[in-house]
Chain A
Amino acid sequence: MSDTLIEVSNVSKIYQRGKMDVPVLESLNLTVDQGDFLALMGPSGSGKTTLLNLIGGLDVPTSGSIRIGSENIDQLSQGQLATWRSRNVGFVFQFYNLLPVLTASKNVELPLLLTGLSGKERKKRAQAALSVVGLEDRANHRPAELSGGQEQRVAIARAIVSDPELLVCDEPTGDLDRTTADEILELIQLLNKDYGKTVLMVTHDPKAADHASHSLHLDKGRLIEAQPA
């Protein structure tokens, strides 16, 4: 028996391109249980990133509602949404988007700058997050001194440093070789299993999807349960 963490009801997303309407998602429904590790697959342009951004509160639906935990995030203002994100969601992207002049530790600290934590406490938590991803000895390295896999680990540490319940990953291994990708996937799996994070991961890689507890297919804006491989 598990609780529902994410409830997407009747969500549509229509982008405006010039005067043209571009419908991407149509009356989409989705529930994700707490502690789940869901892989989202589908052809390019099917709307995976769009859905992920809506659930992560980076964008708002054209219609429909999205409830995460006890919060109806489609009702929040931009500012409220920013605060909500900082407390409840960790993001991992294909491109790590680390700040090149900051050390790994300072990059991980970024989300904590918005909290009332002291500098010392921030540093301590960044260090803890770095040790979860196995990079405690790289804290003072700058991104340029790290490999792609290590950079992605720093990005993951940044995503978990404020201890959010939900982890949203958009093709986290899209830019990595097989071995490194597997290590990252194992790390994400660990965060799901041992740290209880609910994970939503978009991927093109069927092998990556194997790490998830189950997969969904998005096609032309509609969700289909993944066929057993």
Chain B
Amino acid sequence: MKFSGLIWAAVYRKPIRSSLTLGSLFVAFLLFGLLHSVSVAFTQGVDFAGVDRLIVAPKYSIIDDIPLNYQRRIAGVDGVELIAYRSWFGGTYQNNKQFFSRWPVPPKEFLDIYPEFIIADEQREAFISTRTGAIVGRDVATAFDLKVGDRMPLIPNIWMNKDNGPWVFDLVGIFDGADESVDTNQMFMSYDFFDEYRTQSQGGVGTFVVRITDPDRTAAIAAEIDAMFANSSDETKTTTEKAYNQMFANQLGDIGFIMTGILSAVFFTILLLTGNTMAQAIRERIPELAILKTVGFSNVTVLILVLCESLLIALLGCIPGLLVASMLMPALSGAVPFFGDVQMTPLIYIQGILLALALGVIVGLPPAVRAMKLNIVDALGEHAA
């Protein structure tokens, strides 16, 4: 459009001021992209559709245990095909230079239920038959230069053993992920050894993992399991893996609420900042706007020009901010594993751009209306005054 030159000219009229405004908008939209994605991931409801694995967790707190003997009763629920469990081991390995999660599990059932952990048959057999056996994912093996046959001493910080010393596991296998999304920064060890050798809480597990035969009945099965243990001393909450991971993170704080809170504060500040800048930019240009009107620009044209200027600035800050956020997203997901698959969905882009447009209008409208109402005679007189 032929007025675009005029609008651009308005933007780089004061390059330093415009850069500062654009910089703060860029940061605001970068945060929007990152935080809103996290918030969306955490506030969407539990989606049972097409899910064939469920997590049975303690209802009230992730650090509670549930009794291992629930296993038999869960297995009895119609539609439950396989069942395994795991506990959180904690501990430290070597200099702790790369943290990885460690889980005591029943080797056979666990590997059956998680076919995405790819492991050679003989290593799998060794894991099942070795009492002190453990396997690690490729990430861990690479980070610590481990090979099958190594011994891995872990210093306990939750679970003391009966010798009150380090736990020593024999590395009998190294697994890969079936695809990129599988977390191989983990270690699994035999639950039986762990349970016998620890000094307390015997017979408890952190969570059960259940595979079901009919993904259409997931929600019903989840409800049935929880109903079975309702009003017992160890009530359960059965949900999808994704929802469980989010619940886990949410125990650290209401993530969705925190993210929304931060974003609201950021955008409130941005609103005041850019609002003030726009108002000032228009105030400085009153004689110029008067000239536009003098040579025949209508009031509405002037209104639109100022609004477009404000929208342009908002979009110039928004679009790079969202793009950089999407580039940083994999790093964010990787840095905080239980965030899981946080993504910049197309909806988040659309919401970001709508937010920018709304910001542009809210910030641009008052000065635009002022420019529209500007009386030529008064404005020209102001200059001389």
Contacts and interface: CB of A to CB of B under 8 A. Distances in A.
Interface of A: 49, 53, 58-59, 78-79, 82-83, 85-87, 91, 93-95, 97, 99-102, 106, 110-111, 113-114, 119, 158
Interface string B235-247: 0000000000000
Contacts of A86: 295-296
B295 A53 contact: no
A94 B384 contact: yes
Given A101-B12, A101-B13, A93 B297 contact: no
6 contacts: A82-B296, A97-B383, A99-B288, A102-B5, A110-B295, A119-B2
Interface of B: 2-3, 5-6, 9-10, 12-13, 287-288, 290-299, 301, 376-377, 380-381, 383-384
Contact of A106 (B5, B299, B383): B5
B287 A102 contact: no
A111 B288 contact: no
Nearest to B11: A101
Given A101-B12, A113-B2, A119-B2, A95 B383 contact: yes
B9 A85 contact: no
Nearest to A88: B296
A142 to B, nearest CB: 10
A97 B296 contact: no
A82 B5 contact: no
Contacts of A49: 381
Nearest to A49: B381
A58 B377 CA distance: 7
Contacts of A110: 291-292, 295
A102 B9 contact: yes
Contacts, number: 67
Nearest to A81: B296
Contacts of B290: 97
Contact of A91 (B5, B288, B295): B295
B13 A82 contact: no
A53 B377 contact: yes
A113 B6 contact: yes
A58 B292 CA distance: 12
Contacts of A101: 9-10, 12-13
Contacts of B381: 49
A90 to B, nearest CB: 8
B71 to A, nearest CB: 75
B287 A97 contact: yes
Instruction: Give the most central of A87, A97, A111, A119: most B CB within 10 Å.
Output: A97
A128 B287 CA distance: 26
B10 to A, nearest CB: 8
A86 B295 CA distance: 5
Contacts of B293: 82
Q: Which of B291, B297, B381 has the most CB of A within 10 A?
A: B291
A111 B288 CA distance: 13
B291 A59 contact: no
A208 to B, nearest CB: 18
Nearest to B296: A86
A95 B291 CA distance: 11
Contact of A114 (B5, B9, B12, B296): B296
A177 to B, nearest CB: 19
Contacts of A111: 295-296
A111 B301 CA distance: 13
